[in-house]
Structure 1
Amino acid sequence: MAAKPILYGADWCKKTIAIQDYFKTHDLAYDYINVEQSDEAMQAIQDMNRSKVRFPMVVVGEQKPMKNPSPEELDAALAENQ
């Protein structure tokens, strides 16, 4: 079974909202973690970005985390995760 993608972002972030729309449009289940509501989530994105706060970040299975992925990058990552 394919791993559910994880989206790290913030509710006010237009790029986060665009990725949420992508998942909804493609009828894909995903986990959303608001980095502003969790110190652990904030630390996780810093760990993914050499101590810098950058989001949205998407993690698909065991693949390398993606910073602000395009729809094409999401398509490829999700296809690889099947």
Structure 2
Amino acid sequence: MAAIPLLYGADWCKKTIAIQSYFQEHGVAYDYLNVEQSDAALQAIKDMNRGKVRFPMVVVGELPPMKNPSPDELTAALAQNP
């Protein structure tokens, strides 16, 4: 069974919204972690970005975290995690 992608972002972030739309349009179940509402999510993105707050971040299975991935990058990552 494929791992459910994790999306770290913020409700006001246009790039986060675009990734949510991509997942919805492609029927991809995902978990959304709002970095403004979760200290753990905020710390996770800092850990992924050498202490800096950068989002959106997407984690698909065991693949390296992706910062603001393009639709093509998301498609490729999802294909590697069937």
* TM category, shorter: over 0.9
2:80 maps to what in 1?
80
SS in 2 for 1:36: coil
TM-score of the two chains, using structure 2 as the length reference:
0.99
Q: Does 1:66 align with 2:66?
A: yes
TM-score of the two chains, using structure 1 as the length reference:
0.99
Question: Pairwise mapping of residues 1-82 of structure 1 onto structure 2 (< 5 A)?
Answer: 1-82=1-82
Q: % of aligned pairs identical?
A: 78
Find the aligned partners of 1:26 and 1:11 in 2 and give their Cα distance: 20
Aligned residues: 82
Find the aligned partners of 1:59 and 1:65 in 2 and give their Cα distance: 5
Structure 1 residue 13 displacement after superposition: 0.1
List, as ranges, runs of 4+ consecutive aligned residues in structure 1 with deviation greater than 6 Å. Answer: none
Structure showing the higher helix proportion among its residues? 1
| Unaligned ranges ≥5, structure 1 | none
SS in 1 for 2:73: helix
Structure 1 residue 57 displacement after superposition: 0.2
| Unaligned ranges ≥5, structure 2 | none
Find the aligned partners of 1:38 and 1:81 in 2 and give their Cα distance: 26
Across the aligned residues of Structure 1 and Structure 2, the Cα RMSD in angstroms comes to 0.3
